[in-house]
Structure 1
Amino acid sequence: MSRFCNVLGILTKPNYPLGKTSRTLRKRLLNPTNAFSFESGRNVSIESTPRFSLIKGNGPRNQVLGSPRNKELFILDKKYMSSVPTQYIDLDGGRKIAYKLTVGDLRKPTVVYVPGLLNTMEETKAVALHTFCEKTQLTLVRFDFEGIGESPGSIEKVNFGQWIDDLRHVVKEICQTPVIYVAFSMGGWISTKIAIEIPEKLHSILYVAPGFNFLQYYYGIFYEKLPPEQKKALDDGACIYFNDLFMRKDFATESVKHHINLKEKIPIAAPIRILHGMLDKDAPYKVSLDLLPMFESSDVDIYLRKSGKHFMTEPSDLAIMISLLDELVQKYPLKK
């Protein structure tokens, strides 16, 4: 494992020894007790006194009643932020999304990092991937979903289908070689949709704490915790920030159209690796165990970390993620 730690670079700085919690490398703002689960309904834990911020209707951010907390779940030390310039893809209807491209060897697959809910292309795992890909001549594409990070748009107006479309444009317009999706949490759901839709661009998938089909489910759970006036606001189209997540009735309802059918085999035959922490309260690791037999692919491995949590950003977590990515690249070279 030391080889991959050295390749990462940021993990072996004097102030960031392997195995020691890097408190200044990132700051987690999501309270681990405010967890959501998925359709299985396992291990749901809701704080008894939740915090709310209300957006009136679909109005501008200056109409917020009470400031929502920072939506970026990880704040990196600035000296470890990547210096890759931001570019933009123009989408239909005047929309656009921000991305960063690390150009590598076109004889190798392209790595696409697909972030989780409200995460950005500068969160810890994304920057670790940048460091590794830059040193190993792998092309890497990172991006922000519409309304998140550097991508224009409003979280009060965007729908889940548009986020799927964001990844569709990234794969079709930027990726010149088959794609390895490194997909975190909700990014696993979106990556699976595009991998099925564009199989000719698929190399393999590395899931990190994947979560499928959960938005309507957690909306229903959190909705029941709200006082009557907040429920009415949601019913009338408001956006509410709930413990670092956001709630919109139309966003949750629209996401159901994009559910992955888990009653049938998932039609992906490519190599798949799953990395999950056994202390994950947001997406219990048993979700990944249930997914394991669902893929058509026979080349599916799961790696469980006994001490791992949802965001998998400890140095040892990152080292394993990078080692799994390296395995996929080395074991499955592109055909000449």
Structure 2
Amino acid sequence: MTEEHGRLDRGDGVALAWRRIPGRGPGVVFLGGFNSDMTGSKAEDLSAFCAARGQAFLRLDYSGHGASGGRFEDGTIGRWAQDAATAIAALTAGPQVLVGSSMGGWIALLLAVRQPERVAALVGIAAAPDFTARIEALLPAEIQAIIARDGVWHRPSQYGPPYPITRQLLEEGRRHLLLRAAVPITVPIRLLQGQDDPDVPWDTALKIAAAVTGADVQVVLVKDGDHRLSRPQDLALLRRVVGELLGPLARPPGWRRGRRGSRGGATGCPALTWSRHWRPCGSPPRSCGPWGTCRRRPARRGWPGAAPRRAAGRLPPPPRRFPPPRRRPG
């Protein structure tokens, strides 16, 4: 599928850059981390994964990030969460599966609390809720004095140039702390966390799982995983987790549940959950007979038969047919 791209005015003259793949729902929304952008390896990999599935996909840059307008120093957790909410409201329809990396995990949790009707499931990749409070607690007194005096301190980073930590970011972040109370989220949540993460302690995932009120929460610890979780095996894990969440949620367009024992037509085969468009034999609706059997249209008409698929073990054996009883003479 062709990926669309554009810029969305959030209402104050700042344009948010976005990329989108149209497809079936529920869509997948990738929320990047602090000082990152939407062209990273995880976003690119998820984009290709959703395109191959025909799944809708959206990614964006917060204000001050990547190709979006605005100054990074003016950003806060609340402002960036609103950027994500604005893009989701304008560019998607229906519930979405939110995939948040690092700070994006915090933003995904905030959106799930504030707009539960728009969230179908949530995946956190080294999710970092309340990371501003952790930064404040670890700052030495001299750095705190610099921030109080200048309003900003440039923190060294192993991923690139130093990035600014502003007084506004730390103070505004206190309004959005989550882990100090129960977090009212009931949708399925999957948390991927590397135990060699130098930025987010791995027990943060356990704290999130304990704080969330829903029962469907799973934590996956990667023993040798770092903060980014961008190695090929990490990306494969991410695709598997997202695919498993989409499995029970995704339905083909125009799906309709089949009726067991129906004779083809619009009701279709009983062998599949979604039976209007998906057939175990790959045939159109009227080629499916009772109990999942296939009427096997003639090959010249182009309809694939069930015999090769049944031989491969993908279909149950056909029902046994008995000859009609003979009539007695006289």
Using a 3 Å threshold, how does the CA distance of structure 1 residues 292 and 160 change in structure 2: closer, same or farther? closer
- Could you tell me which residue of structure 1 aligns to residue 10 of structure 2? 91
- Could you tell me which residue of structure 1 aligns to residue 176 of structure 2? 258
TM-score computed with the length of structure 2 as normaliser:
0.71
- Could you tell me which residue of structure 1 aligns to residue 135 of structure 2? 218
User: Contact 2:209–2:217 at 8 Å: present in 1 too?
Assistant: yes
Aligned partner of 1:248 among 154, 159, 166: 166
2-structure distance, mates of 1:85, 1:95: 20
2-structure distance, mates of 1:83, 1:330: 23
TM-score computed with the length of structure 1 as normaliser:
0.69
The answer to whether structure 1 residue 237 and structure 2 residue 118 are counterparts is no
User: Contact 1:234–1:248 at 8 Å: present in 2 too?
Assistant: no
Bigger radius of gyration? 2
SS at match of 2:187: coil
1-structure distance, mates of 2:195, 2:155: 27
Using a 3 Å threshold, how does the CA distance of structure 1 residues 220 and 248 change in structure 2: closer, same or farther? farther
Aligned partner of 1:165 among 74, 78, 82: 82
1-structure distance, mates of 2:221, 2:234: 10
- Could you tell me which residue of structure 2 aligns to residue 119 of structure 1? 36
SS at match of 2:20: strand
1-structure distance, mates of 2:226, 2:142: 25
Aligned residues: 249
Alignment of 1:1-336 (within 5 A): 84-105=3-24, 108-224=25-141, 226=143, 231-232=145-146, 234-238=148-152, 240-243=154-157, 244-260=162-178, 262-333=179-250
Gaps of 5+ in 2: 257-330
2-structure distance, mates of 1:200, 1:177: 8
**Pairwise CA distance, 1:194:** 0.9
**Pairwise CA distance, 1:331:** 2.5
SS at match of 2:45: helix
Using a 3 Å threshold, how does the CA distance of structure 1 residues 265 and 159 change in structure 2: closer, same or farther? closer
Using a 3 Å threshold, how does the CA distance of structure 1 residues 242 and 224 change in structure 2: closer, same or farther? farther
**Pairwise CA distance, 1:220:** 4.7
Q: CA RMSD in A?
A: 2.1
**Pairwise CA distance, 1:170:** 1.6
2-structure distance, mates of 1:146, 1:169: 12
User: Contact 2:151–2:166 at 8 Å: present in 1 too?
Assistant: yes
Whichever residue aligns with residue 164 of structure 2, its letter is: F
Whichever residue aligns with residue 90 of structure 1, its letter is: D
1-structure distance, mates of 2:136, 2:76: 14
1-structure distance, mates of 2:141, 2:43: 35
Gaps of 5+ in 1: 1-81
Whichever residue aligns with residue 281 of structure 1, its letter is: P
2-structure distance, mates of 1:104, 1:236: 47
SS at match of 1:274: strand
1-structure distance, mates of 2:130, 2:238: 24
Whichever residue aligns with residue 154 of structure 2, its letter is: I
Q: Residues 191-234 of structure 1: CA distance to partner in whole angstroms, max 9, x if unpaired? A: 111111111111000111111111143145335354xxx94465
1-structure distance, mates of 2:240, 2:147: 47
Residues 169-178 or 122-131, more deviating: 169-178
Between the two structures, name the one with larger relative contact order (CA 8 Å, sep ≥ 6): 1
Using a 3 Å threshold, how does the CA distance of structure 1 residues 173 and 235 change in structure 2: closer, same or farther? same
2-structure distance, mates of 1:223, 1:83: 49
Whichever residue aligns with residue 99 of structure 1, its letter is: W
SS at match of 2:74: coil
1-structure distance, mates of 2:102, 2:186: 21
**Pairwise CA distance, 1:119:** 1.1
2-structure distance, mates of 1:284, 1:194: 23
Q: Residues 88-145 of structure 1: CA distance to partner in whole angstroms, max 9, x if unpaired? A: 111122122110001112xx21100001111110001000001101101111100001
1-structure distance, mates of 2:198, 2:152: 28
- Could you tell me which residue of structure 2 aligns to residue 44 of structure 1? none
**Pairwise CA distance, 1:327:** 0.1
Percent of aligned pairs with the same residue? 27
**Pairwise CA distance, 1:276:** 0.8
